[in-house]
Amino acid sequence: MATRKTPETAAVDGANVSKDDLLKYYREMLLIRRFEEKAGQLYGMGLIGGFCHLYIGQEAVVVGLEAAAKEGDKRVTSYRDHGHMLACGMDPKGVMAELTGREGGYSRGKGGSMHMFSKEKHFYGGHGIVGAQVPIGAGLAFSDKYKGNDNVTFAYFGDGAANQGQVYETYNMAELWSLPVVFVIENNQYAMGTSVKRSTKSTTLFGRGVAFGIPGEQVDGMDVLAVKAAGEKAVAHCRAGNGPYILEMMTYRYRGHSMSDPAKYRTREEVQKIREERDAIEHVRELLISGGHATEDDLKAIDKEIKATVSDAAEFSKESPEPALSELWTDIYA
């Protein structure tokens, strides 16, 4: 794992980013964090029902990888999916309204947090069955290979999902058929209340690709620049027709597994330490300030703007009507 960029090196060296890029990543990560904080509040008010898994802490992973993607690339992920949707450009209003089960939501209020899709942004969900999105990701990559274009699919899954059999069946076929898929393991150290160390003997999860001939690497998933650089390498490998690539993002979730998690399996100090020492948004904020790329006032203005976007999304999600009863009979197979 490469060491973090410093203010002196960030905007200039091999990470290939400009001041505007840094500001863009700051803005995108902050949007995810504020959106998730608001979703947590609406859940607490009883406006969001069912399961709700927040992405707070892991923002640099999707923002860094989206920075390495191009139009046409696809993404598919688990139930912890709000950040992925925002990062690929889906409308915060449509996402929030889906969380509150309203007509203005991406699935017209019938899917909720774990079941949202956008054909326009090539976002294929949102999957509640742990690991199920991994073979789907390979299938998406197969379709692009079949059509002969150079699109790549990002298939995101967790450290817990990485112990599933279907992941390894997928690895085998993806490598056998040289499918353009980047397997992104979001190693946030926990699968519900079980730490990686408690469930897994060999904890370098990307290394399991070796058995299938798939290259990979571990990345500091709290450093958006490191994520972007690794993403560019992985994507180049896939686009050149070399088959899949594995990126193991070392990250951390600050909140519970879902809104109903009492979090008794880790200490407050553990969470606090990571927030203080490794927070991805603070990292970019420091790069911007100490590199002389932005002032405190510039960043305050961005924060204000993002808060307004999120408030608008929350208002929309409260005002949008519930789906009509007749919707019970639409979008069904039989």
The residues binding ligand TPP (CB under 6 A) are 78, 80, 128-130, 158-161, 186, 188, 190-192, 257
CB of 103 to ligand TPP, least distance (A): 27
CB of 156 to ligand TPP, least distance (A): 9
Q: Which of residues 180-239 bind Mg ion (CB under 5 A)?
A: 188, 191
Q: How many CA atoms lie within 13 A of 308 on its CB side?
A: 6
Q: Which two tokens stand for residue 7?
A: 């203010």
Minimum CB distance to Mg ion smaller for 133 or for 188: 188
- Residues near 286 by Cβ (< 8 Å), separated by ≥ 6? 7
Residue entry with tokens 């686009």: 239
Q: Taking CB within 5 to 8 Å according to partner kind, which of Mg ion, ligand TPP, none is near residue 128? A: ligand TPP
Contact 77, 133 (CB under 8 A): yes
Minimum CB distance to Mg ion smaller for 131 or for 231: 131
Q: Is 81 in the site for Mg ion (CB under 5 A)?
A: no
Output Rg (C-alpha) for the chain, integer angstroms. 19
Contact 102, 42 (CB under 8 A): no
Minimum CB distance to ligand TPP smaller for 134 or for 138: 134
CB of 52 to ligand TPP, least distance (A): 12
CB of 191 to ligand TPP, least distance (A): 3
- Residues near 216 by Cβ (< 8 Å), separated by ≥ 6? 183, 206, 207, 209, 245, 246, 247, 248
Q: Is 256 in the site for Mg ion (CB under 5 A)?
A: no
Minimum CB distance to Mg ion smaller for 191 or for 314: 191
Contact 145, 179 (CB under 8 A): yes
Residue entry with tokens 């994520």: 227
Minimum CB distance to ligand TPP smaller for 170 or for 320: 170
Residue with CB nearest ligand TPP?
Answer: 158
CB of 60 to ligand TPP, least distance (A): 15
CA dihedral 235, 216, 32, 152 (to 10 degrees): 30
Residue with CB nearest Mg ion?
Answer: 158
Minimum CB distance to Mg ion smaller for 97 or for 280: 280
Q: Taking CB within 5 to 8 Å according to partner kind, which of Mg ion, ligand TPP, none is near residue 5? A: none
Q: Of 93, 114, 52, 86, whose CA–CA distance to 319 is shortest?
A: 93
Q: Taking CB within 5 to 8 Å according to partner kind, which of ligand TPP, Mg ion, none is near residue 205? A: none
Minimum CB distance to ligand TPP smaller for 10 or for 181: 181
| Alpha-carbon distances of 253 from 97, 171, 222, rounded to whole Å | 24, 26, 11
Q: Of 164, 170, 75, 159, whose CA–CA distance to 125 is shortest?
A: 75
Minimum CB distance to Mg ion smaller for 144 or for 220: 220
Q: Is 159 in the site for Mg ion (CB under 5 A)?
A: yes
Q: Which two tokens stand for residue 175?
A: 């490598």
Residue entry with tokens 């469930």: 199
Q: Which two tokens stand for residue 284?
A: 């970019």
CB of 79 to ligand TPP, least distance (A): 7
CB of 149 to ligand TPP, least distance (A): 30
Q: Taking CB within 5 to 8 Å according to partner kind, which of Mg ion, ligand TPP, none is near residue 151? A: none
Q: Is 158 in the site for Mg ion (CB under 5 A)?
A: yes
Provide the β-strand partners of residue 153: 74, 181
CB of 260 to ligand TPP, least distance (A): 12
Distance, in Å, from the CA atom of 23 to the CA atom of 287, rounded to the nearest integer, reads: 10
Q: Is 58 in the site for Mg ion (CB under 5 A)?
A: no
Q: Of 35, 46, 117, 44, whose CA–CA distance to 83 is shortest?
A: 35
Residues near Mg ion (CB under 5 A) are 158-159, 188, 191
